[in-house]
Amino acid sequence: MGSVHSAVYYLELGFEHIWPLGLDHILFITSIFLINSRLKQAIIQCTVFTLAHSITLVLTALGILFPNPIIVEPLIAFSILVTSLENIFTNRLGPSRLLLIFLFGLMHGMGFASALLNAGIEKSSMISSFIFFNIGVELGQVSIILLLYYSISFWFSEKSWYNTRIV
């Protein structure tokens, strides 16, 4: 594969891992967005998540971590449940939210690794493949945030009923 073709391929692969294939990631990004619907804060949370999953993605792909999918997949589902419950029972988020998102990002990265490894990465382009895959994932996640922001939050987040009806 040529370098430009390879970059586009992994960028698309990362984006497609979110849209339309990543229902679990769409749910997770939605859950981190809803309680804090300010665009800048949502993108910061999303980026922290991406940085964390990048770490475990690389460690897993390099054979340093060997996550068991039987354990990882339920943990990913658990992360969605926890962030959703946090939205229901919390009105304000503290600094611990970023730590929680980082920890959950580590788990999600182990799940991402199987998708990326199945794509058949060439050893000579492994680093650039990881970078473009992660950029694609981040673009997919940011597109979810923008969709949520302009379809829900922009119009309704200042309404008194936003937390009880939307979140």
Predicted local confidence at residue 1, as pLDDT: 54
Residues in the chain predicted with pLDDT less than 70, given as ranges, are: 1-2, 91, 114-124
Predicted local confidence at residue 118, as pLDDT: 65
C-alpha dihedral, 18 to 22 to 28 to 29, nearest 10° = 20
DSSP class of 37: -
C-alpha dihedral, 30 to 27 to 53 to 94, nearest 10° = 40
pLDDT tens by residue, 98-141: 899 999 999 888 877 766 666 666 666 777 888 898 899 999 99
Task: Return d(Cα 112, Cα 106) in angstroms, integer.
Answer: 10
C-alpha dihedral, 8 to 11 to 14 to 18, nearest 10° = -100
Predicted local confidence at residue 102, as pLDDT: 94
* DSSP H or E stretch at residue 162: none
Predicted local confidence at residue 129, as pLDDT: 82
3-state secondary structure of 151: helix
Predicted local confidence at residue 122, as pLDDT: 67
Query: Which residues are CB-neighbours of 45 under 8 A, at least 6 positions away?
Result: 32, 33, 36, 97, 98, 101
Predicted local confidence at residue 139, as pLDDT: 95
Tell me the C-alpha to C-alpha distance, in Å, between residue 50 and each of 33, 61, 85, 154, 165. Answer: 14, 16, 21, 24, 29
Predicted local confidence at residue 120, as pLDDT: 66
